[in-house]
Structure 1
Amino acid sequence: MSKRIINKVAVIGSGIMGSGIACHFANIGVEVLLLDIVPRDLTDAEKAKGLTLEDKVVRNRLVNTSLQTALKSKPSPIYHQSFASRISTGNLEDDITKVADVDWIIEVVVERLDIKKKVFENLDKHRKPGTLITSNTSGIPIKFMSEGRSDDFQAHFCGTHFFNPARYLKLFEIIPGPKTSQDVLDFLNGYGEQFLGKTSVIAKDTPAFIGNRIGIFGIQSLFHQVKDLGLTIEEVDKLTGPVIGRPKSATFRTVDVVGLDTLVHVANGIYDNCPDDEAHDLFKLPDFINTMMENKWLGSKTGQGFYKKVKGDNGKSEILSLDLDTLEYRSKKSAKFATLELTKSVDKVINRFPILVGGKDKAGDFYRKNFAAMFAYVSHRVPEITDEFYKIDDAMKAGFGWEHGPFQIWDAIGVEKGLEIMKAEGKEPASWVTEMLASGSKSFYTVKDGASYFYDIPSKTQTKVPGQDAFIILDNIRKSKEVFKNSGVVIEDLGDGILNCEFQSKMNTIGGDVLAGLNKAVDLAEKDFQGLVIGNQAANFSVGANIGMIFMMAVEQEYDELNMAIKYFQDTMMRMRYSSIPTVAAPHGMTLGGGCELSLHADKVVAAAETYIGLVEFGVGVIPGGGGSKEMALRASDLFHKGDVKLNVLQEYFLTIGMAKVSTSAYEAFDLGVLQKGKDVVVVNKDRQIATAKAYAKLMAEQGYTQPIKRKDVKVLGKQALGMFLVGTDSMEASNYISEHDQKIANKLAYVMAGGDLSEPTAVSEQYLLDLEREAFLSLCTERKTLERIQHMLKTGKPLRN
């Protein structure tokens, strides 16, 4: 296969999806040409300016407005606003010839076959031979789109279906056309995973492909069940949310966000085009959905759907729910089920499913009915939509944010138990499932030698899931490669002399056991290994220190113990920095407070692009006490150059902590000084993160890692900086920007980062700053208002500004 490089792409169509795709290519460093149609009429504002339809600004109005709207949206489609400069815009009349210079053309126009075919006809005249050309259609058969096009076009044409929002949802469905070359499919499969950070799934050209076929079935199934079981929409959302590893928006809130019209469009397409589907009638819309469509209750885009936000008489916002019997809005009702209470102590979602299907209440009935329908449906989709069932699991996890796919859930319940539940609900599995059990395979998946295997239907054997070699999957190696374990961490041997320390605490908070585990990991690595990675594959790297423990010690006034605990944290961070082996942190997701401090003290950070990292201690009434305040003063000091206004440099780092800034991507963390250019790296595909971190640790060890010498040359500015900070916090408090307690915390931080009230700039040691930091932290823990902030955070998960 000849080598193919993507330097430039053209995205045709700049709506929400087109702009999102353009932004994601810009995210990974690719140059993008974004094109849309020319407006047919002038706006009133354009008329007032005397513009005509021939003016460039008018001709590119649609594309530029769409892109700017996307760039301002939250969550942002782009890792860093500066990356938007990689996107140039134009229109399909003046700029279509420019597609001759691109390596890949992606069509994202309206979902109408006639329009798409016209666009392709035009593009075929201008693309150079060999250029990839793909459609982001979510349901139009790929075979119809390339009819009548040149042979070269057809060989390089297929569907590449991104899920919205393109930056955040990982599913990348690749749908071959009748004449798509195998080289093109192989390239796109690899490119999606390695460069775009996606889960690439090659699907068949069937209605709604894989993700939407199964996802819409699941939602339609719930639409029909909700009335049968007499459930409210709040109850369904409670049952189908985080408790089973689905997003917080669960079912009905998700439909509101996506738009009911979008869901109805796909459901109707499946109903019309899959007459032989055994669940065909389920895709028929219930009456309440038809009424909602008539009323234009489409969700967030129309201000009301299954939920509606209103302002009460007191001016406070309230979210109302739709009563599906009366179709009137009413106050939300809380949803409680005895079965869900039984799962509260079960941290791992996968271990909850046997409990849920065994429930004796309405929730148990719901889960049995729901999973019976889903298991039967997915088993019958093989080989119709895919030959390998694991692709269905991959699609549901990557496209719909499920923690576990349907076959993984079935395995968790037990294949035979699943069949029993299906029989009780009058559902029949596909014959290959009973053949699998007869062949001796008792589960869909197995793990062997650190790799995942799936039951291959034609050969009736467990076969290795392809594409894993670039990944290290901790779930697969934890048992066989465990070197040490306590209640806070598991330390695994990654091979090649590299250890991994994986947090196992709730939300990966850092308490005594985690710190003990980190110290043990350094001990083991220094004695028998070459390097250490600190990484995990949970939803978040770490939400910070165990503030519950800090609160208890402070309330009990156990200040000596608290002092020891904080010192233990600081010493552990310094141990990571000054060990004799390289330490590599692999943060991802929420990396807050202590999780951020750990990253600051590693020799290198290999961050996932989706890393939301920052020192957020101000929110609980303290300053960073695990070395974070010290480290920001040190990093500012390293940037002081002759002629610099040193106070301005220090102030930037002070504000990063004082405003509890959190990056919205790893790339933004460089701006905050949390990640360092030239040292730390970003990986787009989180699945590759541990393997990449291991590779860097190994490389550093092989290049001759030398234990660093403790720093005694940190330049602090003393009274000069302290005076500036105190004047600043005074004026902010006087102007009501910050509260009196905010000012007190800021002044404590100022004292630490200035190095105290030294009379002139002085070189000090890291330990000097750590002692100041710890003293400030402890003094804040004696304040009533700090304890109120910690208590509020523990109760609500939200900061209190008192």
Structure 2
Amino acid sequence: MSKRRINKVAVIGSGIMGSGIACHFANIGVEVLLLDIVPRELNDAEKKKGLTLEDKVVRNRIVNEDLQKAIKSNPAPLYHKDFAKRISTGNLEDDISKVKTADWIIEVVVERLDIKKQVFENLDKHRTPGTLITSNTSGIPIKFMSEGRSEDFQKHFCGTHFFNPPRYLKLFEIIPGPKTSTEVLDFLNGYGEKFLGKTSVVAKDTPAFIGNRIGIFGIQSLFHQVKEMGLTIEEVDKLTGPVIGRPKSATFRTVDVVGLDTLVHVAKGIYDNVPDDEEHGIFQIPGFIDTMMEKKWLGSKSGQGFYKKVKNDDGSSEILSLDLDSLEYRKSKKASFGTLEKTKSVDKVTDRFPILIKGEDKAGEFYRKNFGAMFAYVSKRIPEITDELYKIDDAMKAGFGWDNGPFEIWDAVGVKKGIELIKDLGKEPAAWVNEMLEAGVDSFYTIKDGNTYYYDIPQKKHVKVPGQDSFIILDNIRKTSEVFRNSGVVVEDLGDGILNVEFISKMNSVGGDVLAGINKAIDMAEKDYDGLVIANNGKNFSVGANIGMIFMMAVEQEYEELNAAVKYFQDTSMRIRYSSIPVVVAPHGMTLGGGCEFTLHADRVVAAAESYIGLVEFGVGVIPGGGGSKEMAMRASDSFKKDDVELNRLQDYFLTIGMAKVSTSAYEAYDTGILQKGKDIVIVNEARQIAAAKAVARFMADQGYTKPIPRTDVKVLGKQALGMFLVGTDQMVAGNYISEHDKKIANKLAYVMAGGDLSEASYVSEQYLLDLEREAFLSLTGERKTLERLQHMIQKGKPLRN
């Protein structure tokens, strides 16, 4: 069997979903052909230009407009705007024959079976035999779509359901048709995970597949529950958000973003197609939703849904909430519950569930009902929608952004307790759950040798979840591989001579304990191991230095202690660079300030594509003080070429810090000079990141890693650069672009990056620049306006412009 490779994909249908899928394939380096229909009539602009329906620009108008709208949308569907060049466009009449060169054709047209069948009939005439052909349907049975198609078509045809937006949501459902070959399913399962960075889940051909069947059940039961329990939409969003490991947008804000019409369409599809579902009535649309649909209150796309943004007379804007009884908008009310207060000090989400269901207020009642109904429902969907319970959990985590799937939550409250919650609602769990307990198994999951095992119903025992071999999940290995811990880090032995430092501080912020932990890990690695990885499985790599600690020292004017703390931070960054073992840093999510400075000093970086990296210290009134300012000056120096305008190069690096630029993906971090081409690598599937970082550290050790020699050859431009920067900041103040305090911070940074006011360009050491950086940082912490910025960030979580 020859190896299947995907070099070119054809996407048929350029709407929000089609363009999003096209962009994500472009993200991973695949050539994309995006096709849509030819317009039936000219628009006003075309008429004015005297164009006809035969002109190419008119014929491709729909596809080109859709793609441009997608590229400009927020959040961005592309990792880097240049990746759009990988997409070519066309229409289904002139360009359909081009699909013969595609390795995979993905249909993303309107959700109507008759239209889909027509498209497939057309594609079948032009595709090359053996080419993959899939549909991104969210609910039409796959078996109906391939009826009457050629044998080769049916063998290579299945559903591949991406979730919107395709770049960000990880779920990739693969739904076999009656004749899909196992080779195709295995290939797509592996490709989705390895290349597209997805959680691939092979589902059965049942209405709404796995993710939407369970997810829509959850939302619809909330719609019914909210009226029954007399809850407000703010209360439901408070109860179903981060406190239980769900996205900040919780329930109603999420529906506003997705669009109420989309949700209703899927719910109706389920209602019509699962008459025997024991919870059939839940999928019926409640009256208040029908009214919202009639009024076209569909959410963000129509300007109002469950929430509505309005402008007040004074120009300020305000978010109003929908009162579900009167169906009128009113001022938002803050929601609070005693039960939630009890979980405030509990960091681990799974440890909160047992507390939440014991609550004696409305919140406790809500969770008991909500979880009980969900547990009963998911237990009865096996084997209807899938044979393996872990696939339901994977689908909810990857498609709906839940930290824990239903069976993981059930494990957290205890299987027996979960059955009690079900029975309290007058329901019963599926028979297999009681049989599992009778067989002496009291949990759906267990961890053994660093791997997750799930309860396999036919075998009546725990079986290893497949596909984990390329992952390192720190939660799974910590118990057996921990070699050191303090309040800020855990150091784990990853095997093969490589250690890992995992941050465990709040939001992975960097304080003295984290710095001590990194130094301890380097000591251990230098003595007994071959390399070190700095990585974690948190939501974000690190939000930067613990600014509360800096603020307290600065307010109390403990400048000696502050100087020592900043020096310790700088020395730790330098230790990452100048240890005798390779150090690989693996950033993901927010990697800000100090987290970015560690990244800058790594021997190699293995970044997740979804990494938002930047030096953001200007926002709190200081400059990067952990080696970041020095490093950007050094990288500017290393980029100087013969006959170059060196000042321009230096200015680019200066602006990266001065504008607090944060990349919207790891690929953008190459542009800001934070990641280095040819040295640092980007990985699309975050789940593979730690294993990849370990492999890079191992490879470097095997090649004979030697400790680098500290630099003394950094070219700084002195007064010439300083003069240019000072003139620039004066002009920025004069034009009202920045405040006087911004100017003060920018001038301090300019002094560091110019290497001081040296009379001519000179070569200096890294230590010389670090001393300038530390001095500038400390002088800024003595400024009242910097203290105001620090305090504002601590209290409000956002920067103050003063």
TM-score by length of 2: 1.00
Q: Does 1:229 align with 2:229?
A: yes
CA distance in 2, matches of 1:637, 1:437: 66
What SS is found at the alignment partner of 1:480? helix
Query: Which residue is equivalent to 1:413?
Result: 413
What SS is found at the alignment partner of 1:175? strand
What SS is found at the alignment partner of 2:318? strand
CA distance in 2, matches of 1:259, 1:221: 18
CA distance in 1, matches of 2:438, 2:681: 49
CA distance in 1, matches of 2:266, 2:660: 42
Aligned AA (1:195): F
Query: Which residue is equivalent to 1:461?
Result: 461
Query: Which residue is equivalent to 2:194?
Result: 194
Deviation beyond 3 Å, 4+ runs, structure 1? none
Deviation (angstroms), 1:619: 0.2
Aligned AA (1:760): E
Query: Which residue is equivalent to 2:765?
Result: 765
Query: Which residue is equivalent to 1:695?
Result: 695
Q: Does 1:251 align with 2:251?
A: yes
Alignment of 1:575-724 (within 5 A): 575-724=575-724
Aligned AA (1:626): G
CA distance in 2, matches of 1:639, 1:481: 42
Query: Which residue is equivalent to 2:778?
Result: 778
Query: Which residue is equivalent to 2:563?
Result: 563
Deviation (angstroms), 1:350: 1.2
Query: Which residue is equivalent to 1:328?
Result: 328
Query: Which residue is equivalent to 2:548?
Result: 548
Query: Which residue is equivalent to 2:138?
Result: 138
Q: Does 1:533 align with 2:555?
A: no
What's the CA shift string for 1:158-215, capped at 9, x where partnerless? 0000000000000000000000000000000000000000000000000000000000
Q: Which runs of 5+ in 1 are unaligned?
A: none
What's the CA shift string for 1:724-783, capped at 9, x where partnerless? 000000010111100000000000000000000000011100000000000000000000
CA distance in 1, matches of 2:678, 2:350: 40
Q: Which runs of 5+ in 2 are unaligned?
A: none
Q: Does 1:515 align with 2:515?
A: yes
CA distance in 2, matches of 1:147, 1:424: 46
CA distance in 2, matches of 1:696, 1:772: 34
Which one is further off, 418-427 or 171-180? 418-427
CA distance in 1, matches of 2:156, 2:667: 33
CA distance in 2, matches of 1:227, 1:266: 21
Query: Which residue is equivalent to 1:181?
Result: 181
Query: Which residue is equivalent to 1:90?
Result: 90
What SS is found at the alignment partner of 2:652? helix
Deviation (angstroms), 1:223: 0.2
CA distance in 2, matches of 1:511, 1:430: 49
CA distance in 1, matches of 2:14, 2:686: 28
CA distance in 2, matches of 1:655, 1:786: 20
CA distance in 1, matches of 2:438, 2:518: 47
Aligned AA (2:19): S
Query: Which residue is equivalent to 1:272?
Result: 272
Deviation (angstroms), 1:128: 0.5
CA distance in 2, matches of 1:119, 1:701: 54
Query: Which residue is equivalent to 1:348?
Result: 348
What SS is found at the alignment partner of 2:584? strand
Query: Which residue is equivalent to 2:450?
Result: 450
Aligned AA (2:218): G
Query: Which residue is equivalent to 2:168?
Result: 168
Query: Which residue is equivalent to 1:478?
Result: 478
Aligned AA (2:652): E
CA distance in 1, matches of 2:665, 2:735: 32
CA distance in 2, matches of 1:315, 1:656: 32
Deviation (angstroms), 1:7: 0.2
What SS is found at the alignment partner of 1:479? helix
Query: Which residue is equivalent to 2:380?
Result: 380
Deviation (angstroms), 1:420: 1.3
Deviation (angstroms), 1:650: 0.2
Deviation (angstroms), 1:424: 1.5
CA distance in 2, matches of 1:421, 1:393: 19
CA distance in 2, matches of 1:182, 1:319: 51
CA distance in 1, matches of 2:346, 2:741: 38
CA distance in 2, matches of 1:290, 1:725: 60
CA distance in 1, matches of 2:341, 2:466: 39
Deviation (angstroms), 1:2: 2.9
CA distance in 2, matches of 1:435, 1:554: 62
What's the CA shift string for 1:331-390, capped at 9, x where partnerless? 000000000000110111111111111111000000000000000000000000000010
Which one is further off, 497-506 or 314-323? 314-323
What SS is found at the alignment partner of 1:552? helix
Deviation (angstroms), 1:476: 0.3
Query: Which residue is equivalent to 1:20?
Result: 20
What's the CA shift string for 1:471-514, capped at 9, x where partnerless? 01111001100000011000000000000000000000000000
CA distance in 1, matches of 2:107, 2:652: 43
CA distance in 2, matches of 1:280, 1:413: 27
Aligned AA (1:148): G
What's the CA shift string for 1:259-279, capped at 9, x where partnerless? 000000000011000001000
CA distance in 1, matches of 2:402, 2:205: 23
Which one is further off, 523-532 or 343-352? 343-352
What's the CA shift string for 1:585-613, capped at 9, x where partnerless? 00000000000000000100000000000
Deviation (angstroms), 1:228: 1.1
Query: Which residue is equivalent to 1:105?
Result: 105
What's the CA shift string for 1:519-573, capped at 9, x where partnerless? 0000000000000000000100000000000000001111100000000000001
Aligned AA (1:223): F
Number of residue-to-residue matches in the alignment: 802
CA distance in 2, matches of 1:308, 1:396: 28
Aligned AA (2:530): Q
CA distance in 2, matches of 1:515, 1:425: 51
Deviation (angstroms), 1:427: 2.0
Query: Which residue is equivalent to 2:367?
Result: 367
Q: Sequence identity of aligned pairs in percent?
A: 81
Aligned AA (1:635): R
Aligned AA (1:388): E
Q: Does 1:292 align with 2:295?
A: no
CA distance in 1, matches of 2:4, 2:162: 21
Q: Does 1:261 align with 2:261?
A: yes
Aligned AA (1:401): G
Aligned AA (1:322): L
CA distance in 1, matches of 2:233, 2:146: 43
Query: Which residue is equivalent to 1:727?
Result: 727
CA distance in 1, matches of 2:575, 2:315: 53
Which one is further off, 64-73 or 413-422? 413-422
What SS is found at the alignment partner of 1:494? strand
Query: Which residue is equivalent to 2:312?
Result: 312
CA distance in 2, matches of 1:656, 1:403: 33
Aligned AA (1:389): L
CA distance in 2, matches of 1:356, 1:140: 38
CA distance in 2, matches of 1:763, 1:723: 19
What SS is found at the alignment partner of 1:352? helix
